[in-house]
Structure 1
Amino acid sequence: MGKHSSGKGGSAKSGAGQRMSPAAASRVQSAGAKNPGSRTAESGFASRAQSAAARGGGRQQDGR
């Protein structure tokens, strides 16, 4: 499995099509920090999540 995977499989809670909130980005970073060998940590997703949240795309769960 490569460092950059295009796999779409996995969680039923994927949130596809939703914007990244700062709270969600924080959860991603925390998960990667707790398990440095995980796919989340190794893929660089935490930094991309933080960047997406910083771009102002994050909204609260109700989408307003």
Structure 2
Amino acid sequence: MSRDAAARIQSAAARNPGSDTARDEFDRRAQSAGDKNEAHDRDDDRDDDDRDDDDDRGPAAPQSA
């Protein structure tokens, strides 16, 4: 779940505090899921950046003396 989706759920719960969404605290769980997913996405982006730095040309050719 994205943080934007979680924000929409929280907004709906705030507009109608008597709703099932508000009463069972789904809005809080949605926010937690959005936060976790964003952190996971940031970690994935860092991993992708690390892989981009790898040298994909294979082993170096032996050098003659």
**Global fold match (TM > 0.5):** yes
Query: What aligned pairs does 1:1-64 form with structure 2 within 5 A after superposition?
Result: 20-56=1-37
Larger Rg: 2
Normalising to structure 1: TM-score of the pair? 0.57
The structure with the greater share of residues assigned to helix is 2
How many residue pairs match? The answer is 40
RMSD (Å), alpha carbons: 1.9
Structure 1 runs of 4+ off > 3 angstroms?
none
Identity of aligned residues (%): 52
Ranges in structure 1 where 5+ consecutive residues have no aligned partner: 1-19, 60-64
Normalising to structure 2: TM-score of the pair? 0.56
Deviations 1:26-60 (A, max 9, x none): 0000000000000000011000000000002587x
